[in-house]
Amino acid sequence: LGSLGIVVARVSGSAAGRQLIQGLAPLALAVPALVTSVSMAGSLYFSEVVNYRPCVLCWYQRIAMYSLAIVLVTAAVRRDKSIAPYAMVLAGIGAAISAYHWLLERWPAIDTGSCSADAPCSVPYFEVFGFVSLAFMAFCAFVTVLVFLGVVSRADGATMDAAKPTAVAK
């Protein structure tokens, strides 16, 4: 809901929305770094301590999340926003996989054969409120990364000039 609120604040163009975005701008790298690091630690906890066996789609989500955690923590420490476009691509891929995984948990008939019998993608280990599963939480984490990198990191008016190619003068 927080990510949705940030998007609405950005789209609304209101003074209060701009103020909210400006207030969050200093956290544009720290929040995604924290979210991906906690997600990585959580997935390791569930597989190594609780002994949940990750399915194929869980592994793909882990690839995206773990890569993002390493890159975003490094970027946050260096205060380097130029990583944002690349991290957003990875977060977008992770979000798409998570969304498909969550839908597969709801409607197992849409399985395209990506799952195995010993670690089925269509059976969540747990659900809270009847819909919040690990796949849903991963989706929320990826969306949070996308929102903070795509909306909040541009709040200072800069469009990540370091990430843009510069013209060569002749």
For residue 167, tell me if it sits in a domain: no
For residue 109, tell me if it sits in a domain: yes
DSSP H helices, the chain, are 2-12, 15-24, 30-44, 56-78, 84-106, 134-150
pLDDT of residue 6: 66
For residue 47, tell me if it sits in a domain: yes
144: exposed, middle or buried (C-beta count within 10 Å: 0-12, 13-18, 19+)?
buried
Which CATH number is 118's domain given? 1.20.1550
> In this structure, how many other beta carbons lie within 10 angstroms of the beta carbon of residue 87?
25
For residue 170, tell me if it sits in a domain: no
Q: Minimal CA–CA distance to 29: which of 143, 138, 153?
A: 153
Q: What is d(CA 48, CA 35) in angstroms, rounded to the nearest whole number?
A: 20
For residue 166, tell me if it sits in a domain: no
Domains held by the chain: number: 1
For residue 22, tell me if it sits in a domain: yes
How distant, in Å, are the alpha carbons of 20, 146, 148 from that of 7?
11, 10, 9
Q: What is d(CA 127, CA 143) in angstroms, rounded to the nearest whole number?
A: 20
Q: What is d(CA 144, CA 121) in angstroms, rounded to the nearest whole number?
A: 23
> In this structure, how many other beta carbons lie within 10 angstroms of the beta carbon of residue 75?
23
For residue 165, tell me if it sits in a domain: no
pLDDT tens series, the chain, 170 aa: 566 666 666 656 667 677 777 777 788 899 999 999 999 999 999 999 999 888 889 999 999 999 999 999 999 999 998 899 999 999 999 999 999 999 998 887 777 776 777 777 777 777 777 778 889 999 999 999 998 898 766 655 444 444 444 444 54
pLDDT of residue 165: 43
pTM over 0.85: no
pLDDT of residue 170: 47
Please give the structure tokens belonging to residue 144: 């949070």
pLDDT of residue 18: 72
Structural domain containing residue 153 = 2-160
Q: Assign residue 35 a region: left if phi > 0, alpha if psi is -120 to 50, beta otherwise?
A: alpha
> pLDDT tens digits, residue range 12-52?
666 767 777 777 778 889 999 999 999 999 999 999 999 98
